[in-house]
Amino acid sequence: MANVDRHSPSVVAPAGETFASIITGVGRSAVAVIAVYGDRVSAIVQQHFLPATTTAFRPGQIRYGIWGQSSVQGAVAESAASELTASPSVAEPSTAALPIAGESIVVVPIADDRWEIHCHGGVAATDRVMDDLTRSGVHPQSPQQYTQHMTPSVLVAEAHQVLSQCVTTRTAAIALAQVRGAMVDWATGWRDRINAALVAGQSTSPDRLPGDARLPDDGRASDFDAIRHEAAQMTRRAQRTVRLADPSRVVLVGAPNVGKSSLVNAIVGYNRSITMDIAGTTRDVLHADTVIDGLPIRLSDTAGIRSSQEPIEREGIHRARTAASQADLVIRVHEPQTTFPRHDSSMAASADSREIDELDAGTGGVPVIHVMNKVDRLADWVANDSGTKNSVTTDSVTKDPVTKDPAVIDPDWLPTVATTGQGIDDLMQTIAARLSDGLPPAGAPAAICPRQADVIAAIATATELSTLPRLIEELL
Ligand SMILES: Nc1nc2c(ncn2[C@@H]2O[C@H](COP(=O)(O)OP(=O)(O)OP(=O)(O)O)[C@@H](O)[C@H]2O)c(=O)[nH]1
Ligand SMILES: [Mg+2]
């Protein structure tokens, strides 16, 4: 979580006072961030923090160490405090602050007057740090009061709001980068550059379109392309970043009995869904929340898709389609029997495959991971069927039923056995990797609410350089 942005909005705390505020949602996240700000922040934090290394504290560092109650109280601590405050940017760590029973934490000096303490997100750990700070004369404040102390920026206020709702370190890190000013810096940087370009270009051709080969490149065209390119990238990511506090929606869909519920149970590690060797077991959309690789995820198990006249099953299938079409990621589950079917020209079989085709069409645009479940049955299925009109050869399967031999399974499909856990780690890693594709890199600007996403989308599609300063002001 501790990625530092070079430039960050400064705090405006009353002279002589120091404040602390838990800026992540207490008990919601695995890691809590406590902002400490004001004149004496450096001295006070060092009364309690013993860093792992003894180099001087500098803004922008990430320092690991132990948080423990200081054995030094009163006048000694105060005198150390005033010395350190005199030259905070070259402060030597206080060796006087010896921890008694310490807890591993991270301290990040953001600026001379604003540090962050990253500790365990539980109530006990945050209470302890806040109590120690309060005893050292720090005034506890709510996140709202903290935001009021920040240099007024609607972007930072919005980021605080989102940060306090994030439940995992990965998502909180994205919001924290915005609290530290990633988006503010992006917007102000571009505003200054574009204003300069507009002033410089006033005497030439201010309405020139970017990339217009007939006009000489005076730098404005490439600036215009570059900001729109960056905004377009943020717009693509906005689908996910405007919902940082919510889990990613991962929906399992496929024909009945392929093992969707069994896969959900294998991923979450407990029997969330009923599984049974009867097609049509799951009737409604069932959710299970989990965290994979630091990402909050809501897995949705759904009814198997087939042609059915039964009203409850039909409604379940309708809900499955809707969930899949609104997903961040679809896990399309197959099994050997449905993937390599015997030639069955019955009305029922073709009606079922029409339903499945419709499902696949309805999830067009949503990223999909294909899973071949029940690969333990692959050899049996083909062997029992050898000599019939099956579409795979027995030879290619019996050699190694779990192989990703293209003759057996599409190489991009993940083989699993939900009932034994085989392939589940791979599946979870693939889910995390696909969801991470849509997230910004550490410290990058991100549109973290619909208002920001709308303005960024307008910047991405702007047709004239001269409209950008107004849009950027709107964002700020
Ligand atoms: N051999 C084998 N059996 C499996 C595997 N995965 C699931 N099963 C079994 O297949 C049957 C159906 O599994 P479910 O998880 O209920 O299938 P589903 O896709 O949720 O079925 P519906 O809810 O009816 O759509 C159960 O008896 C499971 O124990 C697997 O990888 N190998
Ligand atoms: Mg099921």
Give 14's pLDDT tier (boundaries 50, 70, 90): low
Give 383's pLDDT tier (boundaries 50, 70, 90): low
Taking the model in full, what pTM does it have?
Answer: 0.66
Do the beta carbons of residue 81 and residue 44 sit within 8 Å? yes
pLDDT at 329 over 50: yes
Q: Hey, which of 268, 373, 419 would you mutate to test ligand 1's pocket, going by the most ligand atoms within 8 Å of its Cβ?
A: 419
pLDDT at 395 over 50: no
Atom of ligand 1 nearest to the CA of 258: 19
Least confident of 141-145, 284-288, 322-326, 364-368: 141-145
Do the beta carbons of residue 208 and residue 220 sit within 8 Å? yes
* pLDDT reported for residue 381: 66
Q: Which domains does the chain have, with CATH numbers?
A: 18-152 (3.30.1360.120), 184-242+447-475 (no CATH), 248-436 (3.40.50.300)
Q: What are residue 104's DSSP bridge partners? A: 66
Ligand 1 atom 11, closest CA? 277
Least confident of 70-84, 131-145, 166-180, 254-268: 70-84
Q: Average pLDDT of the chain?
A: 77
End-to-end CA distance of the chain: 25
Q: Give CA–CA dist 197/226, Å, rounded.
A: 13
Q: Give CA–CA dist 458/456, Å, rounded.
A: 5
Query: How many other CB atoms are there within 10 angstroms of residue 61's CB atom?
Result: 15
Ligand 1 contact, 207 CB (< 6 A): no
pLDDT at 175 over 50: yes
* pLDDT reported for residue 345: 60
For 438-450, how does the pLDDT look when each residue is reduced to its tens digit (9 = 90+)? 889 988 999 999 9
Residue 260 CA to ligand 2 center (angstroms) comes to 5
Q: What are residue 291's DSSP bridge partners? A: 296
The mean per-residue pLDDT over the stretch 349-358 comes to 76
- Dihedrals φ, ψ of 99, to 5°? -75, 145
Ligand 1 contact, 334 CB (< 6 A): no
The mean per-residue pLDDT over the stretch 53-73 comes to 76
pLDDT at 394 over 80: no
* pLDDT reported for residue 341: 56
Give 153's pLDDT tier (boundaries 50, 70, 90): confident
Between 95 and 461, where is the model more confident? 461
For 67-104, how does the pLDDT look when each residue is reduced to its tens digit (9 = 90+)? 985 544 333 333 333 333 333 343 444 444 444 457 88
ipTM of the complex: 0.99
Ligand 1 contact, 143 CB (< 6 A): no
* pLDDT reported for residue 450: 92
Q: Hey, which of 251, 261, 273 would you mutate to test ligand 1's pocket, going by the most ligand atoms within 8 Å of its Cβ?
A: 261
Element (H, E) at 359: helix 347-362
Ligand 1 contact, 260 CB (< 6 A): yes
* Burial (CB count <10 Å: 0-12, 13-18, 19+), residue 403: middle
For 37-46, how does the pLDDT look when each residue is reduced to its tens digit (9 = 90+)? 888 999 999 9
Query: What is the length of the chain?
Result: 476
The amino acid occupying position 200 is A
**Which of the residue ranges 110-114, 172-176, 278-282 has the most confident prediction, judged by mean pLDDT?**
172-176
- pLDDT above 90 covers a percentage of the chain that reads 27
The mean per-residue pLDDT over the stretch 408-420 comes to 84
